[in-house]
């Protein structure tokens, strides 16, 4: 993804969300650059690779700023676990429950570094499916590899 700058493990059934549907599901102009979804579009993983340079020591601060912005945007959101961990790449993440028009939504948001730039990601599914998707969502997030660091082999 992102011109071979990163790889991520996804369920084989995930597909790219069609652009028309992305505009409906993510009405903001700041919708993720890449959106992968289940065939019924109820489970989504979106990612954007920004031009913002970041360093590992900035991840916690950026994660906290994102969480605070969401709290201000909608104080009714319920926040759960929040951590900074280093797996393949350093990742700051948090989970929260939001409210849609017709369903409650489980969200996992994360920030990491790809090629020295900030990758912002979000996973969401119906809140009723949280138990089914919480661990797989984390496994997807933790599977991210920064391929921009690896030397290209001939």
The gap from C-alpha 123 to its chain's centroid, in whole angstroms, comes to 5
Phi-psi group of 90: left, alpha or beta (phi > 0 → left; psi -120 to 50 → alpha; rest → beta): beta
What's the confidence (pLDDT) of residue 91?
A: 98
Residues 107 and 124 sit within 8 Å (Cβ to Cβ): yes
Query: How far is it, in rounded angstroms, from Cα 23 to Cα 107?
Result: 19
Class of residue 114 by CB neighbours under 10 A (exposed 0-12, middle 13-18, buried 19+) = buried
Residues 56 and 90 sit within 8 Å (Cβ to Cβ): yes
Comparing CA positions, the residue from 108, 101, 99, 107 lying closest to residue 142 is 108
- Its sign, for the CA torsion 87, 88, 92, 97, is negative
Which CATH superfamily groups domain 6-146?
Mog1/PsbP, alpha/beta/alpha sandwich (3.40.1000.10)
Element (H, E) at 134: helix 130-142
What's the confidence (pLDDT) of residue 24?
A: 86
- Its sign, for the CA torsion 139, 141, 146, 152, is positive
What's the confidence (pLDDT) of residue 26?
A: 83
What's the confidence (pLDDT) of residue 150?
A: 61
Digit-by-digit pLDDT tens for the chain (154 residues) are 899 999 999 999 999 999 999 988 887 778 999 999 999 999 999 999 999 999 999 999 999 999 999 999 999 999 999 999 999 999 999 999 999 888 999 999 999 999 999 999 999 999 999 999 999 999 999 999 999 976 444 4
What's the confidence (pLDDT) of residue 53?
A: 96
Question: What would you report as the CA-atom Rg of the chain, rounded to the nearest whole angstrom?
Answer: 15
């Amino acid at each position: 993804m992102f011109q071979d700058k990163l790889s991520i493990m996804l369920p084989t059934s995930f597909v790219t969300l069609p652009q028309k549907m992305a505009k409906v599901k993510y009405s903001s102009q700041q919708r993720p650059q890449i959106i992968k979804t289940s065939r019924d579009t109820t489970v989504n993983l979106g990612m954007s690779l920004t031009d913002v340079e970041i360093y590992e020591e900035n991840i916690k601060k950026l994660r906290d700023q994102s969480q605070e912005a969401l709290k201000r945007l909608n104080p009714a959101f319920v926040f759960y676990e929040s951590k900074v961990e280093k797996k393949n790449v350093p990742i700051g993440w948090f989970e929260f429950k939001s409210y849609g028009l017709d369903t409650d939504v489980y969200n996992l948001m994360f920030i990491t570094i790809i090629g020295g730039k900030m990758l912002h990601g979000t996973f969401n599914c119906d809140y009723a499916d949280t138990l089914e998707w919480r661990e797989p969502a984390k496994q997807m997030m933790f599977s991210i590899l920064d391929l921009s660091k690896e030397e290209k082999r001939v």
